[in-house]
Structure formats: structure tokens, C-alpha cells
Amino acid sequence: MHEFSLASAIVEQVKEIIEEHKAIRVKKISISAGPYELIIPDLLQDSFKIITDELEKFRESVLELIRKPARITCLECDYNGEPDSEGDEEFAFNFKCPECGSRDTHIDRSYLTIESVDLELPS
Ligand SMILES: [Zn+2]
């Protein structure tokens, strides 16, 4: 289960952040993912709940998933960023470079990242 391993990777990373800041608990975790990260949000949420169920520091924490637009790298001019809106999302190879118009582009498929972690810190 893809979502389960993703959720546990997120929890592991957040545990380190909690440790680092000596936080009492985590209130909210925001993660971002591109459209080609094939995540089923409900499954990710369920996995997150299962994993954090027994963890005191994750009690009532919220996991927020932010969808990011696709990113491409142009093989012609080295442009890196969002593709031309003309790109057909059904076909990753069809994205057009907004800089030079080339369709010789690469889609950056995986960039799931932790955007922010909202901690409750000791006063
Ligand atoms: Zn280009």
C-alpha cells in the first residue's frame, strides 16, 4: 500500500522535527504533492490515522495535502517550472515549454514534500 508507506515516512520525519523542537505535540502537518504523485487522499488520511493512533504527540493532529501543479524540465533550454497551460495533462510527454515552445520536456514526477509542521511548543 503506497499511501501507508508514504504516511509512515511523513510521520517519521515529523517525529524528528518534534524531537528537534522539544514540542509537546504536533497540531498540523501540511504536505504538498504534484499531480503525478498518485495519492488517494482518503487512503493517505486513513493510513495517517492508523499510524498516529497510539502516538501521544500526534493526538488530534491534522494532515493537509496540498496539490501542486506539474513541473517540467525542458530538455532544449533547461527551463524548470510549470508547463505551458497548453500541455495536455493526460499525456505527460505532451507538455510544452513556456520558454521556447519545445515539447521535448521531462515531467518531474515525484516531489512530495513536507511544507510545514505546526507544533505546540512548551511555554
Ligand atoms: Zn524550453
28 forms bridges with which residues in the sheet? 62, 118
> How large is the greatest C-alpha to C-alpha distance in the chain, in angstroms?
55
60 and 97 in a single domain? The answer is no
For the whole model, what pTM was predicted? 0.73
Cα–ligand 1 centroid distance for 69 (angstroms): 18
19 and 59 in a single domain? The answer is yes
17 and 53 in a single domain? The answer is yes
Cα–ligand 1 centroid distance for 84 (angstroms): 10
Domain that residue 48 falls in: 2-69+113-120
Cα–ligand 1 centroid distance for 121 (angstroms): 46
Quote the pLDDT of residue 104. 87
Quote the pLDDT of residue 71. 82
CA–CA dist 51, 8 (Å, integer):
7
Quote the pLDDT of residue 74. 92
DSSP state of 87: S
43 and 83 in a single domain? The answer is no
Quote the pLDDT of residue 1. 57
62 and 87 in a single domain? The answer is no
Cα–ligand 1 centroid distance for 53 (angstroms): 47
Cα–ligand 1 centroid distance for 78 (angstroms): 6
Cα–ligand 1 centroid distance for 102 (angstroms): 5
Specify the number of domains making up the chain: 2
pLDDT tens for each residue of the chain, 123 residues long: 588 998 999 999 999 999 999 999 999 999 988 776 678 889 999 999 999 999 999 999 999 998 887 788 999 999 999 887 655 555 555 688 899 988 888 877 666 789 999 999 998
Quote the pLDDT of residue 39. 80
Quote the pLDDT of residue 2. 83
Neighbours of 59 (CB within 10 A): 12
DSSP state of 10: H
